[in-house]
C-alpha cells in the first residue's frame, strides 16, 4: 500500500460524513469555545455542534437549496460562519467565500459568477453591498446580526433560519442525513475566488475530497492529536481557514474562535491553546507587542538581551537535535526561567508550536521565537491546492523552507521554475472556465 493509499483510507466520503465520524468518536469532547458579548468564553461539544449545524442545514433545505448550489458568505471569522459552512456541506451544497472587505465590481462578480442562490450577510453593511448591485440569482438572504431587512423581503434573520430548520426537521427528520449520504468525494464543497494576474478573480472549485484529504494528510504527519487546542482567528473566507476546520474535524481537537485580530495576544492568554496558525504579519505583531511591553534599559533590559543571545547560541544544537554543551545548557535553562517562560506565559503557557502560511515569514522573527523555545513552522500551498501542499514538521523545522510535500502529494519543479503539484488536494477546476 502506498502512502497515498494509506491517507485515502482515512478519508471520510465528505465533510458532513467527517463531522458524523467525529461525533461518533468524541461526542462530549469540547469542539469549540467562543467569546460571548460579555467577553466570557462558552463551549460547544461535538454533539452540540452537529445538532446546531443540522438545524441550520434543514433551514437551508427548507429554502429550496439544491445539490451543489452555492451559498455566499460575507462575514468575518466567527462561530456562526463555522456552523453555516458545516451546514452547507452537510446538505451537499457549496460555500462561496466572500472577504468582508470585498466591495464594488469584485463583490458583484463573485456573487453573480458563482450563481449563489443564498447570500449570508454578517450585518447591515454587508447587506447594503448586495443592494448596491443587481444580483438576480440570489433568492434568499440570511442576516446574522440585527433585524433590519432594508425593505428586502428575501431577508431572514439568524433566528428565523433556525426556526425554519426546526420546523423542517419536525416534518422530515432525516432530511439532512439523507443529503449527507448523497454527498460524495467529488461533490463541490467550496468555491473560493482568487485574484489572478489579470482580470477579475477566478472561482476555484474545491471538492469534499480536497478537504477530507488535507485533513487526513496532516493527521498522517502525526504531530497533532485530540488533546491539542487551537486559537482560530484566520479569515474563514481564505482557503487556509477552511483547511483548519477540516483538519480539526478529522483529529478532534478544540478550536477557540475569535476573529478579532487586535485581541489575539489576549485570546492566547485567556484560552491557553497549544497551537495557533496565522500569516507572518500576525507573528510580527505578537513579537512587537511583547518587545514593546519589555523594558529596554536597566537590569531587566540587560537580562533580556543576554537571554536572547543565549537563545541564539542554542539554536544550531536544538535544530540539529544535538545536546548543548553543559555550560550553554545551564545558561539556557536560566534564560528560560528568567525571560522565556514569561514570553510563553504571555502566549498562554501551552504553545507547542505556531504555523505560518500565506507569505514568507521573516527569518528574524522565526529565529527570535525559536531562541525563546517557541517553534514557528512554515508551509506552502495555494487556493488551487487546498492550502497545505508543503509543511515543515515541528520536531525538525528547517528555517527558510516550506518543508516536504504532505503525504500523498507529489510535486516537482518544471524547467521554467513552475511548481507542479499532483494529488487529491488539487482543485476540480476553475468555475465556468475549463481551460
SS3 379: strand
pLDDT at 426: 97
> For the segment 314-328, what is each residue's pLDDT rounded down to a tens digit?
999 999 989 999 999
Q: How far apart are CA 119 and CA 130, in angstroms?
A: 8
pLDDT at 306: 94
Is the pTM of the predicted complex or chain greater than 0.85?
yes
How are beta strands 275-278 and 229-232 bridged, if at all?
parallel
Q: How far apart are CA 305 and CA 308, in angstroms?
A: 5
How are beta strands 229-232 and 254-257 bridged, if at all?
parallel
> For the segment 132-185, what is each residue's pLDDT rounded down to a tens digit?
887 879 999 999 998 888 788 899 999 999 999 999 999 999 999 999 999 999
pLDDT at 52: 98
In this prediction, the residues of the chain whose per-residue pLDDT falls under 70 are: 196-197, 292-297
Q: What angle in degrees, to the nearest 10, is found between the helix axes of 158-171 and 46-62?
A: 90
Q: How far apart are CA 270 and CA 252, in angstroms?
A: 21
pLDDT at 297: 63
DSSP 339: I
Sign for the pseudo-dihedral over CA of 427, 430, 434, 435: negative
Residue among 33, 31, 35, 32 at smallest CA distance from 263 = 35
Q: Which residue has cell 460555500?
A: 95
Torsional class of 30: left (φ above 0), alpha (ψ -120 to 50), beta (otherwise)? beta
Q: Which residue has cell 437549496?
A: 65
With b meaning 16 or more CB within 10 Å and e meaning fewer, what string describes 313-332?
A: bbeeebeeeeebeeeeeebb
Q: Work out the burial of residue 395: count CB atoms within 10 Å of its CB; fewer than 13 is exposed, 13-18 middle, 19 or more buried.
A: exposed
User: Cα 112 to chain center, whole Å?
Assistant: 25
pLDDT at 295: 62
pLDDT at 197: 64
pLDDT at 294: 63
- Give the list of residues 6+ apart from residue 195 with CB closer than 8 angstroms, or none: 201
Phi and psi, residue 38, nearest 5°: -90, 15
Amino acid at each position: 500500500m502506498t502512502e497515498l493509499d494509506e491517507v485515502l483510507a482515512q478519508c471520510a466520503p465528505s465533510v458532513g460524513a467527517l463531522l458524523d465520524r467525529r461525533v461518533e468518536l468524541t461526542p462530549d469532547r469540547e469542539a469549540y469555545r467562543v467569546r460571548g458579548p460579555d467577553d466570557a468564553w462558552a463551549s460547544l461539544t461535538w454533539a452540540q455542534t452537529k445538532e446546531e449545524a443540522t438545524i441550520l442545514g434543514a433551514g437551508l433545505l427548507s429554502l429550496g437549496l439544491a445539490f451543489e448550489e452555492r451559498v455566499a458568505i460575507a462575514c468575518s471569522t466567527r462561530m456562526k460562519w463555522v456552523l453555516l459552512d458545516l451546514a452547507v456541506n452537510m446538505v451537499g451544497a457549496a460555500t462561496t467565500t466572500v472577504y468582508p472587505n470585498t466591495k464594488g465590481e469584485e463583490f458583484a462578480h463573485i456573487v453573480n459568477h458563482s450563481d449563489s442562490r443564498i447570500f449570508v450577510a454578517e450585518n447591515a453593511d454587508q447587506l447594503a453591498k448586495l443592494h448596491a448591485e443587481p444580483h438576480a440569482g440570489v433568492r434568499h438572504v440570511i442576516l446574522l446580526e440585527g433585524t433590519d431587512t432594508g425593505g428586502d423581503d428575501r431577508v431572514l434573520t439568524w433566528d428565523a433560519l433556525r426556526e425554519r430548520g426546526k420546523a423542517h426537521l419536525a416534518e422530515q427528520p432525516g432530511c439532512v442525513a439523507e443529503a449527507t449520504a448523497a454527498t460524495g468525494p467529488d461533490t463541490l464543497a467550496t468555491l473560493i475566488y482568487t485574484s489572478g494576474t489579470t482580470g477579475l478573480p477566478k472561482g476555484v472549485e474545491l471538492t469534499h475530497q480536497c478537504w477530507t484529504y488535507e485533513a487526513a494528510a496532516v493527521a498522517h504527519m502525526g504531530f497533532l492529536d485530540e488533546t491539542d487546542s487551537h486559537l482560530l482567528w484566520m479569515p474563514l473566507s481564505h482557503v487556509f481557514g477552511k483547511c483548519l476546520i477540516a483538519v480539526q474535524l478529522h483529529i478532534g481537537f478544540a478550536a477557540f474562535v475569535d476573529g478579532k485580530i487586535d485581541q489575539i495576544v489576549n485570546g492566547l492568554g485567556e484560552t491557553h491553546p497549544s497551537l495557533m496558525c496565522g500569516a507572518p504579519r500576525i507573528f510580527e505583531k505578537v513579537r512587537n507587542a511583547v518587545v514593546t511591553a519589555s523594558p529596554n534599559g536597566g537590569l531587566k533590559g540587560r537580562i533580556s538581551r543576554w537571554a536572547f543571545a543565549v537563545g541564539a547560541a542554542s539554536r544550531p544544537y536544538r535544530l540539529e537535535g544535538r545536546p548543548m554543551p553543559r555550560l550553554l545548557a545551564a545558561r539556557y535553562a536560566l534564560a528560560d526561567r528568567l525571560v522565556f517562560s514569561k514570553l510563553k506565559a504571555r502566549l498562554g503557557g501551552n504553545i507547542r508550536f505556531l504555523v505560518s502560511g500565506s507569505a514568507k515569514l521573516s527569518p528574524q522573527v522565526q529565529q527570535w521565537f525559536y531562541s525563546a523555545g517557541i517553534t514557528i513552522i512554515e508551509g506552502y500551498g495555494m487556493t488551487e491546492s487546498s492550502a497545505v501542499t508543503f509543511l515543515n514538521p515541528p520536531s525538525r523545522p528547517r528555517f527558510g523552507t516550506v518543508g516536504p510535500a504532505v503525504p500523498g502529494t507529489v510535486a516537482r519543479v518544471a524547467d521554467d521554475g513552475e511548481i507542479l503539484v499532483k494529488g487529491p488536494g488539487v482543485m476540480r477546476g476553475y468555475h465556468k472556465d475549463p481551460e
